[in-house]
Structure 1
Amino acid sequence: MRLLLILICVAPVFSQKNLVYKGIIKDANTQENIPHATVVIYNSTNLIDGVSTNDDGEFQLKNNKNATHIEVSFIGYKTYMLSISKISDFNAIVINLQPDNELEEVVIQAKKNTTQLKIDRKTINLGADLQQSGNTALEAFDQIPEIQTDLGTGTISLRGGGNVRVLVNGKPSPLNTTELLQQIAASSVDKIEIIASPSSKNQADGISGIIDIILKKNTNYGLNLTLNSSVGTKRHQYGFDANYNLSSVNIRLNASNSRRSMNSKQWIYQEYTNGNTRDFFAPHNFNGKINNISLGIDFFLNESNELSFQVDYTDDSHSFHNNTFYSNVTGRPDYMYTRNSSHMHKTTVYNANYRKKFTSKGHYLELDYNLTNNENILPASDIEEGIFLFDELQNNRNDLHALAFDYTLPINKMTLEAGFSWNYRKLRSFREFTPNASNATQDAFDYKENLIGIYGLTRFETGSFNWQTGIRYEHFTSDSNNTANNQASDLRFLNLFPSVHVSYTSNDKNTFNIGYSRRISRPNFRHINPFQVGNQYFQWNSNPSLQPEFADNFELNYQYNGKRINISASTFYRYRTDVIQWLETIDANGVHFINFDNIGQRNSFGIENTIQYKITSYWNSELSANYYYTKANQPDITWNNLYSSNIILKSTFKITKNISTDITFRHTPRNQSVYSITEPRNRIDFAIRASFLDNKLTTNFRIVDVLDANLRRRTIVLPGIIQNETWKFQSQTFAWMLSLNYRIFQNKGKIRSRKSRNYNYGGTTD
């Protein structure tokens, strides 16, 4: 009898063993996997647990309680209910969701940015962040805590380092980072990939890592049209995005036109150790326009073969006018110096992509070719006290070829990946200099660069650990010739780059990543080209004798995703050798010169933390705090202890069902670089959004720097001189945006299963 009672008591305990439910969610019509669908397990009407499907539409649930059914839901689909008693294999559950044809088709974006921590990168889905709507990619970056952005200079950095490779859909651009980010509208960006410790699949250039901008590529069914326009402080923009999906063919077309003006003021005070002084006041006037058109076509030949072509054309022109007023100049009276200049970019990008999918999941090969033609024309005229000094004309023609082949083979729980890439750059810089009452001189700089890369990568699982290991071989060559001084260069580098990444997931809420990668910064055309854009108080000098700089990057990341709180934390260590350092000097005429040289080593440490907390159903808050420190063991610099940090506090309020508002406070503490100290700064931004017509029509209003107090004050200390600067750029801006999304009709025919066309392979050298 006693034994019977024990068995009766123990039986329920054993009946509540952990069951694991594994499965995949698909579109019933297309059989395409559905990422981020909600999967919830119930006991009658009581919710037990729930998860979201991953990027491949897969889910896994653990349960030790009695359950009656699973419920699956996703926007635009009918909710599906599956009884537990009807599941034959708990490790191979397949659920097909039916599209809800009664719902009116609209484009729906996430309410806030979401961050996914992957094994070798962070993916930030921009969603519909109120502070980013209607602005450029540069201004969108300014709202991402992991990217340090200076809106005044247009520079960006990762983890306190400025050597960052910026790609668009995995492809390079011939433009510098500032010009590229100002060309891209934030509304056209789908997500940002921050790859601070890249794997061997990515090309090895970029000491601080890679930022890859993934643009939206519309493949929605039927005929879709999105209209958008914005107007703000000395700026306006309008454009459209459309596609026509015929199941086997998808045609994409978008175009935009934007205009922007900006005024800024700069005060500079120079004091030499010999007692000489020089002050100048430099107001800058900028006017620019950007016209862009893009046409793409996707062919879904059959279930296994896909082919895409795309052509993009951008005409970006802007002009500068500044009068510099010199005063307190030792040995001469006050005077005014005028420079009138302009910059005209014309860029055409051609892309072809082929993908072959095999029968097993994740087994494919891909071939991608990208050709970029770019021409830059930069005329300038300099005048002093009304007397013409000289005309200068620079013309840069830049051709980039990028070919990549990738093959992925899954074997049980292991995936093997290998690839080849070839990148070629041809640059011709031409300069004509015409001084007053003298004959013109003409010089040319020719540059050719080849980079061949081969990589192998392995991904596998051991329990709760995911591993990714790889190695990359790169063969780099470059040749240049400068007719101005008959100087030539011939560089050859052969290098290996290993990488190791490990991810540990204890449950669906906690993820840990650790990674190592070796990176390089090779001397390229920006270091070697003597014809760099400068002005009367800022000049560049080239150095064709540079050697590569190397870095070993280590990182540790953690992410927690809860119902009301999300936490992201990172720490890193970076060791750099043969650092390619900017060496700064200011001569007796007050001209600031930048030279490049390999000097010394650096040890960098840093932490990044972000906490998102849902205070109430209508109030979301976010706090981000980052700190970076570098110990520089280098000669010929002013400070060897370098530091920077930033703090961002964001609150988003849902006032009504259709109206939301955002208030963001940013504090940038004092930071110290190798030659300068920048004083603390504060900024408050405000944005409000309203939606109408069932979210088809949205309007945004945004104010950047509400208090108009974001001055930059900097002190530069160089041998023989101290320079104090105050820079008031056009920080405060007002912007209003109107956007209309409309589905004209839906294709009712059979739609093929297809993979996202956003293919990236790491780009070319920059």
Structure 2
Amino acid sequence: MRFLILLPFFGLACCFVNAQNDTYQGVVEDYNSKETVPFATVAVYNADVLVNGTTTDENGQFKLKIAEDFTHFEVSFIGYENTTVQFTEIQNLKNIRFVLTPSITALDEVVVQGEQTTSQLKIDRKIINLGADLQQAGATTLDAFDQITEIQTDLGTGSLSLRGSGNVRLLINGKPSSMNPTELLEQLPASSVQRVEIITSPSAKNQADGLSGIINVILKKNGAKGLNTNLNAGAGTMRYSYGVDGNYNVSWINFRWNLSQTGRGMNSKQSISQLYDNGNTRDFFAPHDFYGLSRRLDTGLDFFINENNELSVGLDYTRDFHGFFNDTFYSNVTDREDYVYTRNSSHDHETTNFNVNYRTKFTRKNHFLEFDYQFSNNDNLLPAIDFEEDVFLFNEERRNDNILNAIALDYSLPLTEKILVEAGGSWNGRNLTSSLFTNLAGASESFDVFKYDESLLGIYGLTNITSGKLTYQVGLRYENLISNSINLSNSQTTDLKFSNFFPSLHVSYSINEANTLNMGYSRRVSRPNFRNINPFQARNQYFEWVANPGLRPEFSNNLETNYQYNGEKLSASAAFFYRYRTDVIERLQNIDAEGVLRNVFDNIGEKHSYGVEASVSYKLMDFWNSQLSANYYHTTVDQDIFLSWDELYSSNLIFKNTFKISKALSADISYRQNFKTQNAFDFIEPRNRIDVAVRLKLLENRLAMNLRIVDLLDNNLMYRTAVTQNVKQNEVWRFQSQTFGFLLSASYKLFQNKGKTRNRKNRNYQYGGTTD
């Protein structure tokens, strides 16, 4: 029957079936502490046959829909005795309380993992639990973001945005990295991500940077008892990967590790036609060849000092190399013969992150003090050599050395069961040295250096009050930023000082168990930083960046409303937002006489933005789940500087269908539509694609094989038209959209520790933090 339904589905046939199911919900608690137990397994049996199962959420709560007859529940979690509760003992199916007793001897684990990405709505954020989404198997985190409607990505350009704006702050485990966000996401495998937090209305606890919000990627931490290891290997279109991760956990210490190597290539072709106002023309065809190799080591130690004190130490080292090879064929150039321009360049960088985190927990729930220190060092080497018709023009070598130190202290105090007060502070310092060596044919060599220092102090206070179904969260943050820079080639300096307050207000109303409504306000800022004032930035034969040390800060006031419904078969969410921005920092574009696109940031005026996001998921059958997600964003610009368009908009849609064909075999078919995107100086025509993924699980789920095809029909070309004050440019970009990927992964417990162990409590720690 399942295969008969799958076949007409490709012809867009749709079948709806309703079934009457009973819903059981409740909580799992610790017998001694009475605290809830997050991620405990709740399994449903009919005699010896497993009927259904789930895991509790981060609050220890669960909800199960059971259509079949069953005899009893079995509840388990590592470090606890298994608990069996008969069906006849359940008195109120909407308020079940399971109690787990700590175990002196360790027990085998039962793992139930969802096949589909799910979301949770919190008072100030939306949490995307990646689960075991088939479209993310073997993919990078950037690829995984492409499957999340709330995050807008472009796999061709590597761009990342929220709600139509690229002013996004990216965090990994609540902390920044000195690496470029796109490169960082391309290095992280999606399988290492536990959840993604989309914070479009950040509270005062979060640093105020990132006008459109914060994307916080929470990585998995291996912490199972005993000695555990996971192996994975993948191959696909011009890419491969392999790695090993695991942990060794005894009663008071846990050692975790993750080693991986990834190789990735890409071929893309770009055709550009330029027409100047004076009648001059220039066309060029640019095949881009890219190859990258990344090696990563992530390791750490967790010390469980006692029941109330934990210390974690982590080290993350990445060595990454990218090579770029471009032969650009120029034709139809006014007053010039056709010619070939060659640029061979590369990017070699090393990144070291060191983190120390200490938490002491007091007697009362949610009463703790936490200290965090983060050190990040990113060294970049970017050499390039240029030729025209095989004649040497010049070679250059850019270096960027970026050091970041960050300290944070957070304190949480529950005054009563209904009132929680949080306070804390953070300091981060950045030191950047950027240099450019240039050797021009027939000219003397030059060497220029730019130095930048930045210090940011932040202090916040936050109060959370619960009154019946209403929860209020009020916060205020103060930040003081001081930055200094000097261009040693011409002694040009900048001395910037900014001191500002940032309020936040959030209200959450639980209408009932299935319906939640949130409203939020936050004030955000985008300050001039080293990316805006560094004169030695990326450039090639197509574009260049120009520094502007005279930028002023941009401020944004954000209002939003979120709604979420979670039913037995149907779940839905919707979000509406309005954003008012002043002294907007816009990327201005101009094409010079040589056809090079010059980019410079400048303050242009005001922006009024609004938008809507919506998602509906429906379980058509027990083995078929369908989800439709869409968004629309619109911005009006009141500017005092020339823009080609002052009405900006974008929208996209994802239609995802997942099938549980059998116990071992699953499939996913996703359709993505990007509608016309209108920017200040260009617009992109609509485009679409179909992605397919299949997974086969063997050996009691210890071995998994995944096949994924992105852009099945290979038609996801980008058509872009740019208009500046003196040039109209038409562009067709055929990047390597269609890719095939195969992933093989295996997990195995080498041995189970039989001694008494203590499980580290899961905590929703949000770093108040550092600047990106």
Residue 625 of structure 1 and its aligned partner are, at CA, apart by 1.0
Residue 35 of structure 1 and its aligned partner are, at CA, apart by 2.6
The secondary structure found in structure 2 opposite 1:517 is strand
Counterpart in 2 of 1:674?
680
Counterpart in 2 of 1:478?
483
Mapping for residues 78-227 of structure 1, pairs under 5 Å: 78=82, 80-81=84-85, 95-96=99-100, 105=109, 108-227=112-231
Residue 31 of structure 1 and its aligned partner are, at CA, apart by 7.9
Counterpart in 2 of 1:44?
none
Q: Check whether the contact 1:107–1:696 (CA below 8 A) recurs between aligned residues.
A: no
Which of residues 698, 710, 715 in structure 1 aligns to 2:716? 710
Counterpart in 1 of 2:727?
721
Counterpart in 2 of 1:318?
322
Mapping for residues 640-655 of structure 1, pairs under 5 Å: 640-655=646-661
C-alpha separation in 2, matches of 1:243 and 1:303 = 21
Cα deviation, 1:410-455, whole Å, max 9, x if unaligned, reads 1211000000100110000011001112221000000000000000
CA gap 1:106/1:286 in 2 versus in 1, 3 angstroms: farther
Which of residues 631, 645, 666 in structure 2 aligns to 1:639? 645
Counterpart in 2 of 1:35?
38
Which residue identity is paired with 2:572? Answer: I
Q: Normalized against structure 2, the TM-score is what?
A: 0.91
Counterpart in 2 of 1:518?
523
Cα deviation, 1:356-382, whole Å, max 9, x if unaligned, reads 001111100000000011100000000
CA gap 1:358/1:23 in 2 versus in 1, 3 angstroms: farther
Which residue identity is paired with 1:214? Answer: I
Does 2:537 align with 1:532? yes
Residue 736 of structure 1 and its aligned partner are, at CA, apart by 0.1
Mapping for residues 273-672 of structure 1, pairs under 5 Å: 273-412=277-416, 413-634=418-639, 635-672=641-678
Which residue identity is paired with 1:122? Answer: K
Does 2:31 align with 1:25? no
C-alpha separation in 2, matches of 1:622 and 1:371 = 41
The secondary structure found in structure 2 opposite 1:200 is coil
Which of residues 223, 230, 238 in structure 2 aligns to 1:234? 238
The secondary structure found in structure 2 opposite 1:178 is helix
Residue 596 of structure 1 and its aligned partner are, at CA, apart by 1.0
Q: Normalized against structure 1, the TM-score is what?
A: 0.91
Mapping for residues 675-694 of structure 1, pairs under 5 Å: 675-694=681-700
Instruction: Please identify, of 448-457 and 174-183, the stretch whose mean Cα deviation from structure 2 is larger.
Output: 174-183
Tell me the matched-pair count: 730
Which residue identity is paired with 1:653? Answer: F
C-alpha separation in 1, matches of 2:347 and 2:617 = 42
The secondary structure found in structure 2 opposite 1:219 is coil
Counterpart in 2 of 1:65?
none
C-alpha separation in 1, matches of 2:766 and 2:596 = 42
Residue 78 of structure 1 and its aligned partner are, at CA, apart by 4.1
Q: Check whether the contact 2:83–2:100 (CA below 8 A) recurs between aligned residues.
A: no
Does 2:297 align with 1:269? no
The secondary structure found in structure 1 opposite 2:142 is helix
CA gap 1:269/1:22 in 2 versus in 1, 3 angstroms: closer
Residue 756 of structure 1 and its aligned partner are, at CA, apart by 3.0
CA gap 1:74/1:647 in 2 versus in 1, 3 angstroms: farther
C-alpha separation in 1, matches of 2:752 and 2:407 = 36
CA gap 1:661/1:60 in 2 versus in 1, 3 angstroms: closer
Cα deviation, 1:204-239, whole Å, max 9, x if unaligned, reads 000000000101111111111000110000100000
C-alpha separation in 2, matches of 1:609 and 1:757 = 29
Which residue identity is paired with 1:306? Answer: E
Does 2:695 align with 1:698? no
Which residue identity is paired with 1:511? Answer: T
Q: Check whether the contact 1:107–1:742 (CA below 8 A) recurs between aligned residues.
A: no
Residue 56 of structure 1 and its aligned partner are, at CA, apart by 2.6
Residue 178 of structure 1 and its aligned partner are, at CA, apart by 1.2
C-alpha separation in 2, matches of 1:27 and 1:283 = 61
Instruction: Please identify, of 334-343 and 23-32, the stretch whose mean Cα deviation from structure 2 is larger.
Output: 23-32
CA gap 1:750/1:255 in 2 versus in 1, 3 angstroms: same
Residue 253 of structure 1 and its aligned partner are, at CA, apart by 1.1
Q: Check whether the contact 2:667–2:692 (CA below 8 A) recurs between aligned residues.
A: yes
Residue 26 of structure 1 and its aligned partner are, at CA, apart by 3.1
Q: CA RMSD in A?
A: 2.7
CA gap 1:112/1:86 in 2 versus in 1, 3 angstroms: closer
Residue 108 of structure 1 and its aligned partner are, at CA, apart by 4.6
Residue 74 of structure 1 and its aligned partner are, at CA, apart by 5.8
The secondary structure found in structure 1 opposite 2:645 is coil
C-alpha separation in 2, matches of 1:416 and 1:677 = 47
Counterpart in 1 of 2:16?
none
The secondary structure found in structure 2 opposite 1:25 is strand
Which residue identity is paired with 1:627? Answer: Y
Unaligned runs of 5+ in 2: 1-23, 45-52, 65-70
Which residue identity is paired with 2:732? Answer: T
Cα deviation, 1:267-322, whole Å, max 9, x if unaligned, reads 00000111000000011000110000112001001111111111111000011000
Does 2:59 align with 1:56? yes
Which residue identity is paired with 1:555? Answer: E
Give identity over the alignment, percent.
56
